[in-house]
Amino acid sequence: MKIIIIGAAGTIGRKVTAALEKEHDIVRVGARSGDLQVDICSPASIEDLFKKAGPFDALISIAGDGHLGPLYAMTDKDFRKGIDSKLMGQINLVLIGQHYINPKGSFTLTSGSLADDPIRLGASLSAINGALESFGRAAALELENGVRINVVSPAMVEDSPAYFPFFPGQMPVTMERVVNAYIRSLLGAGTGQVFGVR
């Protein structure tokens, strides 16, 4: 399969790419690195990405920024950082990508455990993750030509120790379990599902 991986150089993206590259044709995409580059905050940049990549069989998105900070100090600008990037960036990968993906292809987006297990300072990301999961469930009802869509929702991962202080008392999940959730979304038959890794 020809698989586009957005965020291929990231903490999770590197492991997912390594697990898939031996058996599949991987197009590595990043903001500043990879085979191709994209600014997921820009629909025009996303359109250009798909034109350059050509038809593909699957897209895995492990990308998007968001805001961590106290609610009392949060502004519209803070909140929109995640809306423009993690939320609309990934949604636009589907809205635009559906016109380039091959029949019976698949989209895999990334949310996170804050959708249903919120933490202090994470109100913006909780809202965005929840919206992504709802979008995945609803988009599955309308994507044409047998195209599937799922969302992977990992908790704090073992390879991101900088985030441990934000999740007191929570055990990080192994990268092996996280990678397997992406493989399940890619190679399984499910659609409209949220694969939580807790």
The predicted pLDDT at position 53 comes to: 98
Read off the pLDDT of residues 138-173 as tens digits, 9 standing for 90 and up.
Answer: 999 999 999 999 999 999 999 999 999 999 999 999
In whole angstroms, give the CA distance from residue 94 to residue 101. 9
Show the domains of the chain with their CATH numbers.
2-197 (3.40.50.720)
- What is residue 20's predicted lDDT score, i.e. its pLDDT? 98
Q: So what's the pLDDT on residue 141?
A: 98
* Number of alpha carbons in the 13 Å side-chain half-sphere of residue 146: 6
**Nearest alpha-carbon partner for 150 in 117, 105, 183, 195:** 195
Within the chain, which residues score under 70 in pLDDT?
none
pLDDT in tens, 68-81: 999 999 999 999 99
What's the pLDDT at 83? 98
pTM: 0.97
| Cα dihedral 87→102→104→23 (10° resolution) | -90
Render 9-20 in DSSP notation, one character per residue.
TSHHHHHHHHHH
